[in-house]
Chain A
Amino acid sequence: DTGVSQDPRHKITKRGQNVTFRCDPISEHNRLYWYRQTLGQGPEFLTYFQNEAQLEKSRLLSDRFSAERPKGSFSTLEIQRTEQGDSAMYLCASSYHRTWGGRAPYEQYFGPGTRLTVT
């Protein structure tokens, strides 16, 4: 396994168009996270899945954003009716979370990101 992968790496789209990004996590990882990063800032949490269940969505995730992880493996993030303010790096991360015992934090690994430019 070579780590978390994301596709595409770059996307340029016109305002109003829909875009979809894909994330493939590390194969044994049951948690998958989406973050957004704008220039000069740290990543901001958008949403996360444990297996196929979407457990939390940030207030940053407007109704135009939707994420899925249908089989508990890869995930897609779709943005409808893109706006210039959506221009950012979209990062995916994964971790393995034990569902029994303990609440220790888990190592979280990131993909290379998808850079979205909305013109």
Chain B
Amino acid sequence: SQELEQSPQSLIVQEGKNLTINCTSSKTLYGLYWYKQKYGEGLIFLMMLQKGGEEKSHEKITAKLDEKKQQSSLHITASQPSHAGIYLCGAVPNAGGTSYGKLTFGQGTILTVHP
């Protein structure tokens, strides 16, 4: 089965600093999703990547999927307290079959941004 490892597990930064969260897969990624979660709440969709080398941005958050499609990074520029939360990467485990569509998740990265 596919496993996702996120690093770091937690991150504390000062407001205005840049930061990067990584997600590494044990198998080829056919779709990589990034979500943000506030404690006790649901997941907020950020971005989905599917092609090797693909990069997407939304406001100050940029996500990339490497060419070999086994690692993704999430980069936040000039962090703000509103960026604080848990960032989760999720992946589609295979390219087809009845399991297609369900997501396997990493354990999450807890981000704290001090004003």
Contacts and interface: CB of A to CB of B under 8 A. Distances in A.
Given A42-B88, A115-B40, A56 B102 contact: yes
B88 A105 contact: no
Nearest to A42: B105
Give the secondary structure class of B's interface.
loop
B42 A95 contact: no
Interface residues of B, number: 29
B42 A112 contact: yes
A79 interface: no
Given A56-B102, A110-B45, A104 B108 contact: no
Nearest to B45: A109
Interface residues of A, number: 31
B35 to A, nearest CB: 7
Interface of B: 4, 30-31, 33, 35, 40-45, 48, 50, 88, 90, 92, 95-96, 98-108
Interface string A27-52: 00001010100001111110010000
Contacts of B88: 42-43
Given A104-B50, A109-B45, A111-B42, A42 B102 contact: no
Nearest to B104: A45
- For A89, A105, A110, the residue with the greatest tally of chain B CB atoms inside 10 Å of its CB is A105
A25 interface: no
